[in-house]
Structure 1
């Protein structure tokens, strides 16, 4: 039994780092049938706990799914409004991931991968930062060295699935002959699906690319950009995501894809199996068009 500022909750169990609540024991809102304490519990929950609380509430009260959605939407709108008033460095949420491998014996091989994704949302704007690093050595010889970072600002419009966006990205992949590459994109997108379990968007626009190759040559190109992001919460603890981005210019086209399955482990910890591909239609001499990587990583919700 837990008692305090939100009244009394019986049968509270800590499972996977989240509170599993015996909601029938709560005082209920006579008009809606939804526990009166749900809003307070949702407000106090960490971001990684909120999804589980929502799923549990809807399983316990299947006839009140719309009312539960209204309560959650109202809370999230309040928080977005608070972010509007907060300083830019506040209100960020996200995750960090890390994976490593080590082989010894006849072959000395090690590899490390790490990534971070941070998002800040208010009523009209979404800011997203991503960064990743992948390094591998075999017998003291570097066989992979890839760095990437991107920032995207998205501007939503009230009650419309259409949005505007701008993106700035940096990449380095010297084993594909790229010493550095900057890409700037502005465009429009469409929110195809925005539901409790599925989030799917597509976007496109003109792109500028400045590339310096490991050979010392440089080129600046105007191209076209297209992207789609798909996320599906298969169950309370299992999620699937797919991201595809394509940049086309007159000299070279680049395709990147990322497919991942993420499963909750405990609390803010998750395990992720991902498969990434990079394709360059006109790679540097001595390199191949396709790069692929398969990784198993531990993910920490921030």
Structure 2
């Protein structure tokens, strides 16, 4: 299932933990395990931070100038199963008064026992022009290549109005919709260019200082097929030492090729404890 409106989001390469020489040698593989633990903790921390990010509440306008970052990840195993996974992604934002620009990109490649299992490259450009604290106009361009999805290539360009229905310090609800043009090429080589429409909803709610809810929904309408994604997550900060996130993501394609299912569902539960 192709997720058209997807920004690159990839785990950052973890830094090595500093430790005395004798403790590094106390157990074979300690440093490697430390690195993997760092990755897990950083992933969960990032998910939690996304919900408490101040940019999600109040006026949705970026600070003037450039912000952003790039990350790279690689993992490989050998022995009973030989695998290799490489991921790279980044997001850049530029604020200029009422104008907000966002450019994101990502790529993921995977191989298992010499057979490619993942090959995906995507990018998105989103521009918003605010006329009031609530009303804005958006422009969106996205493209995704996925060797293992129904649509090998899926691109969309659209424009339309957006409105922040709720805009408080603790909650926001933003909706936007507009017409556009969609180009697809499926795994059989069939190409299609057609008119399309995009409807998006973004909900962020701060239940308390320790509990946060987010729900992102995107629906793309076109004659060839309809695509829909919904990602809901609840973040709990139990204490300064314990945090967890429960998320559920659904991806739907109304017209998959033979052998492909219409929907994919992913349930994720993450837990971090520190002392």
Structure 2 residue 124 is matched with structure 1 residue 188: no
> 3-state DSSP class of the match of 2:255?
coil
Q: 1:147 to 1:188 in 2, by over 3 A?
A: same
Structure 2 residue 184 is matched with structure 1 residue 211: yes
Q: 1:179 to 1:287 in 2, by over 3 A?
A: same
Superposition TM-score, scaled by structure 2 size: 0.62
Q: Which residue, out of 198, 201, 205, partners 1:225?
A: 198
**Cα pair 1:207 1:247 within 8 Å, conserved:** no
- Structure with higher helix content: 1
> 3-state DSSP class of the match of 1:286?
coil
> 3-state DSSP class of the match of 2:169?
coil
Structure 2 residue 78 is matched with structure 1 residue 107: no
2:143 and 2:182 mapped to 1: Cα distance? 10
Structure 2 residue 111 is matched with structure 1 residue 137: yes
2:265 and 2:83 mapped to 1: Cα distance? 18
Q: 1:294 to 1:188 in 2, by over 3 A?
A: same
| Structure 2: segments with no counterpart, 5+ residues | 1-48, 238-243, 271-275
Instruction: Spell out the pairing of 1:237-276 with structure 2 (5 A cutoff).
Output: 240-259=213-232, 276=249
Structure 2 residue 95 is matched with structure 1 residue 121: yes
Structure 2 residue 129 is matched with structure 1 residue 155: yes
State the Cα deviation string for residues 79-124 of structure 1 (Å, max 9, x = none): 95xx3xxxxxxx1223555665545443223434443232223331
2:135 and 2:108 mapped to 1: Cα distance? 34
Give, in angstroms, the shift of residue 162 of structure 1.
2.0
| Structure 1: segments with no counterpart, 5+ residues | 1-47, 54-71, 84-90, 265-270, 298-302
Instruction: Spell out the pairing of 1:281-300 with structure 2 (5 A cutoff).
Output: 281-291=254-264
Match of 1:27 in 2: none
Superposition TM-score, scaled by structure 1 size: 0.57
1:236 and 1:178 mapped to 2: Cα distance? 42
> 3-state DSSP class of the match of 1:288?
coil
State the Cα deviation string for residues 241-272 of structure 1 (Å, max 9, x = none): 432111111220111234457799xxxxxx98
* Relative contact order, higher structure (CA 8 A, sep 6+): 2
Structure number with bigger Rg: 1
> 3-state DSSP class of the match of 2:257?
coil
2:70 and 2:235 mapped to 1: Cα distance? 13
Q: Which residue, out of 153, 167, 189, partners 2:140?
A: 167
CA RMSD of aligned residues (A): 3.8
Match of 1:10 in 2: none
